[in-house]
């Protein structure tokens, strides 16, 4: 369903034609927009207008998805569980059409898995259990058990008549050393470079003279919640990189928009407080040119699988709500799993300036000898892994190509639907229920002494779990925690099929994956589940194992004492979530004791949340063009001064020469006379 978009915007969007390019995969070495540094506004794309170029592409959605390595496992219920979101979805890195849903073909339906082989090793503590202090003060850098919302720069939140004054932070202000990462020695040099380059900008004239700042708004409509990210960048540096900062992340009250399937208007109404907040931040005269997007992720992908009409209704309602505000609304759509992974990867590498960097020669350039980082995202309903494997990606369904700032990137990316944290925990409970086939469920990952009830209807309310045909929806199930680490780990492992078969290296459920390579940022649920146990500070794998083991063996009373301020659900899920996270990383994505230190659990870099939204906006506003702007960009001021002096000298010399010639001619004339 198309969203309501004014005709003038439709025109702009129509410029963004799908581009045929290399390998017919929607890839184009796009044209840069020719922004000339020092001449603000000239040659610059109008803010809020999509860039002309499509810069990358992915496999066509029609490509077949490889069959699972293992034989299907019969599971009762209605239909198949979706477990894999293949990169076969066309990743259209171009302005989204309003209300356009992402291609469905990318949503690979899950194939049932075979039971994992017997005797698979569980998670084992390799050292004696370490004390857990979930209430310990946050490490340097201020990482804490935080809410989703945060104000990066409170001083800039007031609307003002003059957006150019006090609106954009100065470059000094932007030089916010991402101290969250200070404990990661490998990453630190890159961050020091980042900081130094920002100091370098500080030498430049203030960026916000003239047009002030530009803003962009992106709603992350996740399966568990929705957030509005408000971004800002200096207007005269629109085509530059590394300068977009997050002003605020506004958390929408209530669950994710997919929960409003039976009340679509409620999904739209819920967005209004955050839109009102944005209208207070973005100066009134700039609101109409502020590009605004809503991207929905796995929750909506699942709803679309279940009932596409309801999914469209929800999208239509959120579009209507956003369209009522005076912004340049560019549409609400459902991202494919591959887009989610790829935009997360762009965000990570943009924030670390591994794609393009401001050099000492005062030019933006692709940094030499800089390794890009991989991205690991754990949502509520899906998880993504995206990295540059350094070897050809053998499965075209998981292959992603980017050309960014004149450099080609060949990535591996895959999204597993239903393997986000909330849905995985639901699958675990359903499996335990089906194993018990009674109204009593013993949950080995819940603390001893914990008890709750849940109806069959509540348990089986997702396409990721299938109700047994005999299950009565109204039946009340009693779930009792047994706090048994080994049984818990075994149950978590049974959610996966780790066997790769003959087809080569894989992740899980028979999905091809080359061996992990280089450093990774692990964010969203990966960060939150381990941060709760204070395990995001570069702890060794043995300590992580020992800590999780200890928490999983604790009683309900003990964990309540350990986490006095946490919610009941957080405490209940501490063991399950961390066990699941570790299993996914180690057995699923195949990290090991050697590569474990290469995973950096992170929530923010330089006060900007790490997630897909920033990469999405950067792409749709063409802020990382496929080719660098023309070479005239970034000429040194000293060169201009030298050129002016040289010109003056040349003019002086020419006039001297002219005078001398005239004099000579005059004297020769006399001679003739």
Ligand X SMILES: Nc1ncnc2c1ncn2[C@@H]1O[C@H](COP(=O)(O)OP(=O)(O)O)[C@@H](O)[C@H]1O
Catalytic residues: 340
Kindly state the smallest distance separating residue 357's Cβ from ligand X, in Å: 29
In angstroms, rounded to a whole number, what is the distance separating the alpha carbons of residues 383 and 380? 8
Residue ranges for the known binding site are 380-384
**CB burial class (10 A; 0-12, 13-18, 19+) of residue 17?**
exposed
- Residues 228-267 vs ligand X: string with x where CB under 6 A? ----------------------------x-----------
The nearer residue to ligand X, 68 or 525, going by C-beta atoms, is: 525
422 touching ligand X, by CB under 6 A: yes
Q: Which helix (H) or strand (E) holds 226?
A: strand 226-234
Query: Which range, of 238-246, 415-423, 498-506, 648-656, touches ligand X by CB under 6 A?
Result: 415-423
Owner of token pair 């992915």 = 58
Task: List residues bridging with 218 in a β-sheet.
Answer: 229, 293
Q: Binders of ligand X: how many residues, by CB under 6 A?
A: 21
Tell me the closest approach of the beta carbon of residue 227 to ligand X, in angstroms.
8
Task: Map residue 453 onto helix, strand or coil.
Answer: strand
Q: Which member of 380, 444, 507, 514 binds ligand X (CB under 6 A)?
A: 380
Give the nearer residue to ligand X in terms of CB position, either 225 or 489.
Answer: 225
Q: Give the SS3 label for residue 286.
A: helix
Name the minimum Å distance from CB 409 to ligand X.
23
CB of 150 to ligand X, least distance (A): 10
What are the residues whose beta carbons fall under 8 Å from the beta carbon of 25, sequence distance 6 or more? 57, 58, 59, 60, 90, 401
3-state secondary structure of 84: coil
Question: Measured between alpha carbons, how far is 530 from 578 in angstroms, rounded to an integer?
Answer: 6
3-state secondary structure of 311: helix
What residues are designated binding site for ATP? Answer: 380-384
Q: What is the largest CA-CA distance in the chain?
A: 128
Q: CA nearest 575: which of 462, 380, 432, 421?
A: 421
Burial of 596 (0-12, 13-18, 19+ CB in 10 A): middle
Q: Examine residue 420 and tell whether it contacts ligand X (CB under 6 A).
A: yes
What is the spatial distance between Cα 648 and Cα 565, in angstroms, rounded to a whole number?
A: 72
Site for ligand X in 195-234 (CB under 6 A): 222-225
Question: CB-wise, 525 or 634, nearer to ligand X?
Answer: 525
Q: Tell me the window of 110-118, 211-219, 477-485, 520-528 that interacts with ligand X (CB under 6 A).
A: 520-528
Which residue from 139, 148, 363, 448 is in contact with ligand X, where contact means CB under 6 A? 148
Judged by CB under 6 A, the residue of 175, 286, 349, 382 near ligand X is 382
Q: One symbol per residue from 33 to 52: x for binding ligand X (CB under 6 A), - otherwise; what is it?
A: --------------------
Least separation in angstroms between CB 230 and ligand X: 17
In whole angstroms, what is the distance from residue 545 CA to residue 548 CA? 5
Q: What are the residues facing 221 on neighbouring strands?
A: 226, 296
Residue 82 binding ligand X, by CB under 6 A: no
For ligand X, the closer CB: 184 or 419: 419
Which lies closer to ligand X via its Cβ, residue 447 or residue 611? 611
- For residue 603, the minimal CB distance to ligand X (Å) is 8
Stretch that binds ligand X, among 144-152, 170-178, 230-238, 632-640 (CB under 6 A): 144-152
Sheet holding 328-334, edge to edge: 150-151, 245-252, 226-234, 213-221, 291-296, 328-334
Among 525, 615, 628, 629, binds ligand X (CB under 6 A): 525
- The answer to whether 388 and 413 have CB atoms below 8 angstroms apart is no
Q: Which of 150, 229, 140, 149 is nearest to 177 (CA)?
A: 140
With contacts defined by CB under 6 A, name the span among 74-82, 127-135, 378-386, 457-465 that binds ligand X: 378-386
DSSP secondary structure letter of residue 126: S
Smallest separation (angstroms) from ligand X to the CB of 252: 11
Within 275-304, the residues that bind ligand X by CB under 6 A are: 297-299
Residues found near ligand X in the complex (CB under 6 A): 146-148, 222-225, 256, 297-299, 379-382, 420-422, 524-525, 528
């Amino acid at each position: 369903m198309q969203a309501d978009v004014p005709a003038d915007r439709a025109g702009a969007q129509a410029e963004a034609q799908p581009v045929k390019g290399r390998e017919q995969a929607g890839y184009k070495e796009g044209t840069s927009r020719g922004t000339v540094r020092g001449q603000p506004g000239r040659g610059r794309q109008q803010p809020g207008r999509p860039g002309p170029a499509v810069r990358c592409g992915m496999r066509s959605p029609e490509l077949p998805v490889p069959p699972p390595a293992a034989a299907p496992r019969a599971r009762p219920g209605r239909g198949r569980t979706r477990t894999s979101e293949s990169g076969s979805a066309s990743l259209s890195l171009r302005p989204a059409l309003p209300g356009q849903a992402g291609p469905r073909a990318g949503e690979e339906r899950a194939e049932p898995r075979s039971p994992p082989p017997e005797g698979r090793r569980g998670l084992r503590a390799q050292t004696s259990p370490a004390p857990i202090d979930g209430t310990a003060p946050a490490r340097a850098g201020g990482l804490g058990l935080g809410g989703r919302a945060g104000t990066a720069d409170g001083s800039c939140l007031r609307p003002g008549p003059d957006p150019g004054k006090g609106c954009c932070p100065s470059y000094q202000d932007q030089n916010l050393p991402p101290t969250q990462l200070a404990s990661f020695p490998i990453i630190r040099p890159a961050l020091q470079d980042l900081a130094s380059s920002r100091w370098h900008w500080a030498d430049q004239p203030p960026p916000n003279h003239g047009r002030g700042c530009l803003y962009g708004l992106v709603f992350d409509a996740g399966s568990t919640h929705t957030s509005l990210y408000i971004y800002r960048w200096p207007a005269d540096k629109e085509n530059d990189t590394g300068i977009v900062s997050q002003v605020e992340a506004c958390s929408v009250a209530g669950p994710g928009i997919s929960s409003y399937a039976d009340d679509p208007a409620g999904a739209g109404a819920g967005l209004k407080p955050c839109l009102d907040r944005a209208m207070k931040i973005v100066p009134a005269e700039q609101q109409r040119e502020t590009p605004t997007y809503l991207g929905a992720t796995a929750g909506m992908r699942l709803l679309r699988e279940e009932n596409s009409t309801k999914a469209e209704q929800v999208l239509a309602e959120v579009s209507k709500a956003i369209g009522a505000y005076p912004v340049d609304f560019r549409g609400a759509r459902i991202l494919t799993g591959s887009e989610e992974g790829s935009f997360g990867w762009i965000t990570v590498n943009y924030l670390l300036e591994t794609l393009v960097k401001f050099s000492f020669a005062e030019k933006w350039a692709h940094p030499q000898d800089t390794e890009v980082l991989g991205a690991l995202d754990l949502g509520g309903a899906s998880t993504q892994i995206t990295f540059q494997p350094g070897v050809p990606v053998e499965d075209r369904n998981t292959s992603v190509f980017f050309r960014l700032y004149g450099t080609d990137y060949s990535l591996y990316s895959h999204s597993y639907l239903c393997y986000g944290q909330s849905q995985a925990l639901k699958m675990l409970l359903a499996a335990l229920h089906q194993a018990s086939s009674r109204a009593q469920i013993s949950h080995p990952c819940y603390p001893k002494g914990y008890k709750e009830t849940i109806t069959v209807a509540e348990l089986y309310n997702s396409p990721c779990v299938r109700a047994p045909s005999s299950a009565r929806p109204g039946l009340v199930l009693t779930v009792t925690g047994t706090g048994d680490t080994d049984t818990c780990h075994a149950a978590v492992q049974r959610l996966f099929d780790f066997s790769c078969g003959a087809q080569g290296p894989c992740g899980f459920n028979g999905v091809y994956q080359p061996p992990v390579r280089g450093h990774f940022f692990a964010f969203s649920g990966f960060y939150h589940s381990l941060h709760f146990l204070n395990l995001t500070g570069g702890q060794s794998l043995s300590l992580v194992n020992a800590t999780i083991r200890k928490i999983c063996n604790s009683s309900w009373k003990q964990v309540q004492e350990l986490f006095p301020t946490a919610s009941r659900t957080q405490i209940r899920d501490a063991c399950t979530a961390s066990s699941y996270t570790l299993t996914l990383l180690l057995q699923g994505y195949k990290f090991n004791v050697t590569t474990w230190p290469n995973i950096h659990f992170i929530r923010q870099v330089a006060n900007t949340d790490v997630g897909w939204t920033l990469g999405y906006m950067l792409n749709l506003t063409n802020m990382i063009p496929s080719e660098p702007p023309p070479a005239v960009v970034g000429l040194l001021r000293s060169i201009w001064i030298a050129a002016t002096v040289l010109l003056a000298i040349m003019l002086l010399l020419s006039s001297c020469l002219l005078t001398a010639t005239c004099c000579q001619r005059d004297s020769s004339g006399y001679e003739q006379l």
